[in-house]
Amino acid sequence: MKKHIFKILFLFALSLSVSCEDATDILQEGELTEDAAYRSLADVQSGLLGVYAAYAPDGGGNGTGNSLYANAILGDNLKAGLASNGQGAQDYNYVVSFTSGSIPHNIWNNRYVTINFANRVLGVLDRLTFTGQELVEANHIKAQLLAIRALCHFEVVQYYTTDYSNPNTLGAINMDFVPETSDVFERNTVSENLTFIKEDLNTALTLFDPSNATNASPIWISEDFVKFLKLRIALTEGDSSTANITLANELLTDYPLASFGEYIGMYLDVDDTEVIFKLSRVVGDAGVAQLFYFNFPGTGDGFLEMSNELFNLLDAEGGARRQAFVNSASTVVGLNDPANELLINKYPGSAAGQAINDFKMMRASEVQLIKAELQARNNMFADAATTIQELRTARGSATVTPASYTNLNVALTDIMLERRLELCYEGHRWLDIKRVGPELGIGVTRNSVDCASFEGICDISSSDFRFTLAIPQSEINGNTAISQNPQY
């Protein structure tokens, strides 16, 4: 079914494009309106698939991309590959660009396209009448739409807000309707965003059908998706209440940390033991490995490679992560040698294709890391250290965690290290530095050999204005009411 998503999305977008109420639109004979296109529960289900397909944090290739690419290229986990023709050099050097094809444009545009599609299908659900089992299924669909709408709004806040801790800072534009092309909007505040997002998530929790067959597969949004997202939000807004530790424990009960073998299988798309939610990618889809390779994960093909610094950390600890993340065809000439070919293997290909892998968006490992940070922020330093050691033990890591952290800074520094290793190339590193860096007094600090591969800058302070993305030029042009972020 998933292999037809992009065709469905195209037809979905095509049918919606003629439904604009602008006076300049003329409905041609044979064209479909939304009312004509969506008459049954099956039609609504097709619309839901289009919304799933629209959301693409793993999109891009050949030196451009979305949030996975952004967190890799703007952080300290990449260097130019031996096959590089300059891909990513401008982004690596923090050259300001917010025009079409830039990181700020790609993330903003993708999230609001997804929000717009979700709002259109939600509008259809409000117009149609269902009873009995169809109503139960319709509510389950609505829950998924609300959850993905909340996710997209939250991610806009993450990337385009200057200060998460200031409730009056501008964040995302709250959109729970389909705007007219002439409408203009200022951004809402972070406080307004979080209230809106939480309302969507709480409503979704009342609508899910626990008996729905989709709950058995991590490619569908479920109650656990919502619980997980609530934990991510808690970290971002600084909510360290012990209730969130309880929520983390509930998820870890249902999704245990993967064993060594299960972990290797997860990245080959043959094991979902610790996967709470993933984006399904099948034959015919774009491959996430194309963010780093021209054609396939292998020698001579990588235009972006693992940084020497990250490789050194993985090599020192050994275990499952060293095996899973570093391609066996890599060549290590010497410590931090410019000739090292350090091939990224986190997306090694699958039965769907040599560059195609599901994107594991929500995993038990991240829950474990969130739990540790929450414990540390509650001065539960021994518990936090134990939680981190449990993860390291599961990964076969040689790194020894102290029996107890001596203070919060020590704890956060070690947790940040573990997040860097565990979540590399999954869209976290740059956001982690943005969130925790000011607290620890750290920014992006790159190995000199790595930044020399791009002839690039090695150090970027977490107080640099570029740690908040610019509102893209396309939005500025079309929305005269919106405020640009400072210094852009």
Give the range of the structural domain holding residue 57, as residue numbers without chain letter.
Answer: 39-79+95-216+464-487
Residue 426 burial by CB count (10 A; 0-12/13-18/19+): exposed, middle or buried?
A: buried
- Yes or no: say if 149 and 119 are a contact pair by the CB < 8 Å rule: yes
Task: Read off the amino acid at residue 313.
Answer: L
| Residue 410, domain member (yes or no) | no
Model pLDDT for residues 377-394, shown as the tens digit of each residue: 999 999 999 999 999 999
Q: Is residue 421 part of a domain?
A: no
Both tokens of residue 389? 């050691």
- Walk along the chain (488 residues) and give the pLDDT tens digit of each residue: 443 444 344 444 434 443 333 333 444 555 567 777 788 999 999 999 999 999 999 999 999 999 999 999 999 999 999 999 999 999 999 999 999 999 999 999 999 999 999 999 999 999 999 999 999 999 999 999 999 999 999 999 999 999 999 999 999 999 999 999 999 999 999 999 999 999 999 999 999 999 999 999 999 999 999 999 999 999 999 999 999 999 999 999 999 999 999 999 999 999 999 999 999 999 999 999 999 999 999 999 999 999 999 999 999 999 999 999 999 999 999 999 999 999 999 999 999 999 999 999 999 999 999 999 999 999 999 999 999 999 999 999 999 999 999 999 999 999 999 999 999 999 999 999 999 999 999 999 999 999 999 999 999 999 999 999 999 999 999 999 999 999 99
Closest residue by Cα to residue 291 from 471, 49, 56, 7: 56
Task: Calculate Rg over the CA atoms of the chain.
Answer: 22
Domain edge (last residue) among 354, 385, 412 = 354
In a domain, 191, yes or no: yes
Q: Cα(428)–Cα(359) distance, rounded to whole angstroms?
A: 13
What is the spatial distance between Cα 195 and Cα 175, in angstroms, rounded to a whole number? 13
User: Which token pair is 430?
Assistant: 């740059």
Strands 459-460 and 304-306: unpaired
Residues 313 and 194 reside in one and the same domain = no
198 and 293, same domain (yes or no): no
Please report, as a single letter, which amino acid is at residue 31.
E
260, part of any domain: no
* Among the listed residues 276, 267, 371, 372, the one whose alpha carbon sits nearest the alpha carbon of residue 327: 267
Go through the chain and tell me how many residues it has: 488
Write phi, then psi, for 257 (nearest 5 degrees).
-60, 140
DSSP state letters, 88-131:
THHHHTT----STTSHHHHHHHHHHHHHHHHHHHHHHHHHS---
Q: In one letter, which amino acid is 487? A: Q
Domain final residue, candidates 354, 387, 409: 354
Give 371-411 as a DSSP string: HHHHHHHTT-HHHHHHHHHHHHHHTT--PPPPSS-SSHHHH
Q: Which two tokens stand for residue 139?
A: 């509510």
Rounded to the nearest 10 degrees, the angle between the axes of helix 41-54 and helix 5-17 is 100
User: What distance lies between CA 412 and its chain's CA centroid?
Assistant: 22
- The last residue of a domain, from among 354, 384, 399: 354
In three-state secondary structure terms, 331 is strand
Burial string for 137-164 (b: 16+ CB within 10 Å, else e) reads bbbbbbbbbbbbbbbbbbbbbbbbbbeb
Statement to judge: residues 99 and 203 lie in one domain = yes
**Domain for residue 428, yes or no?**
no
> Does 69 share its domain with 201?
yes
Report how far residue 150's alpha carbon sits from residue 165's, in angstroms, rounded to the nearest whole number: 19
Are 200 and 295 found together in one domain? no
* Residue type at 180 in one-letter notation: E
Amino acid at 21: E
In the block, residue with structure tokens 């003629």: 18
Give dist(CA 65, CA 82) in Å, integer: 20
Domain count, the chain: 2
**Residue type (1 letter), 12:** F
Q: What angle do CA 171, 141, 57 make, to 5 degrees?
A: 45
Q: Is residue 127 part of a domain?
A: yes
Give the DSSP letter of residue 172: P
CA–chain centroid gap for 126, Å, is 29
Residue 164 lies in a domain: yes
CA 275 to chain centre: 14
